[in-house]
Chain A
Amino acid sequence: EPEVTQTPSHQVTQMGQEVILRCVPISNHLYFYWYRQILGQKVEFLVSFYNNEISEKSEIFDDQFSVERPDGSNFTLKIRSTKLEDSAMYFCATRRQGSSGANVLTFGAGSRLTVL
């Protein structure tokens, strides 16, 4: 079964450092998302991306965050200057375009970010 692949699985970084999280979507999927889950809390939407541009972003997704798909394959989330409160599990999700069946988001296994 096709999978969404995320790297790294775990990253530890110092506060103020830049972090890039990578996601390889399923090949025929055109919509991409980043969600995050702070330990013990709900899964929160960060951003959606379609046709090489952001289609929607949440209040969490401030100027410290950016997304891009530089090579038509990897979909990346960059945090420019990490803060302690950025420590969370970050999930990439993708979906294909089309009919109601396309509403299903397929999630990656997540990247755990620990900011010290």
Chain B
Amino acid sequence: AQSVAQPEDQVNVAEGNPLTVKCTYSVSGNPYLFWYVQYPNRGLQFLLKYITGDNLVKGSYGFEAEFNKSQTSFHLKKPSALVSDSALYFCAVRDQSSGNTGKLIFGQGTTLQVKP
């Protein structure tokens, strides 16, 4: 079965420090991987995706993610965290078993808390 795991419920980091939010996946075939961010009382906003190509993908707001096939991971990173990055982050994988419906399977989410 296809699945995504985010092992940390919460990540705390000081402003200006680098941040990493972890994600591992389990899929059959080549994965299509995504990161979304959810601010309080808002919908999910797309940050970045990996479909193919370079393992390091860059996205919105200075975020990037590194695809590692051998470790089946897709960790979200940012070199210097901002207080405004505090939010709930979801990793997702396209369900390859559902044909062309394009359905995404989400991880349980990680709360990022950036302290001033």
Query: Is B a genuine binding partner of A?
Result: yes
Q: Which residues of A contact B106 (CB under 8 A)?
A: 35, 42-44
The closest CB in chain A to the CB of B95 belongs to A45
Q: Is the CB of A105 within 8 A of B90?
A: no
CB neighbors of A among B40-72 (8 A): 41-46, 49, 51-52
Beta-carbon contact of A105 and B101 below 8 Å: no
**Which bucket holds chain B's interface residue count?**
20 to 34
Does A45 contact B44, Cβ atoms closer than 8 Å? no
Residue of A35, A93, A100, A104 with most partner-chain B CB within 10 A: A104
In the complex the two chains form, what is the Cα distance from A110 to B106 in whole Å? 16
How many pairs of A and B residues are in contact by the CB < 8 Å rule? Answer: 63
CB-defined contacts of B101 to chain A, threshold 8 Å: 31, 48, 50, 55-56
**B: which residues have CB within 8 A of A?**
32, 34, 36, 41-46, 49, 51-52, 90, 94, 98-99, 101-109
* Residues of A that sit less than 8 Å from B by CB: 4, 6, 31, 33, 35, 41-45, 48, 50, 55-56, 91, 93, 95, 100, 102-110
User: Can you report 23 residue pairs joining A to B where beta carbons are below 8 Å apart?
Assistant: A31-B102, A33-B103, A42-B109, A43-B44, A44-B106, A45-B103, A48-B101, A48-B103, A55-B99, A55-B101, A56-B98, A91-B44, A93-B44, A100-B51, A103-B32, A103-B34, A103-B49, A103-B51, A103-B94, A105-B46, A107-B44, A107-B45, A109-B41
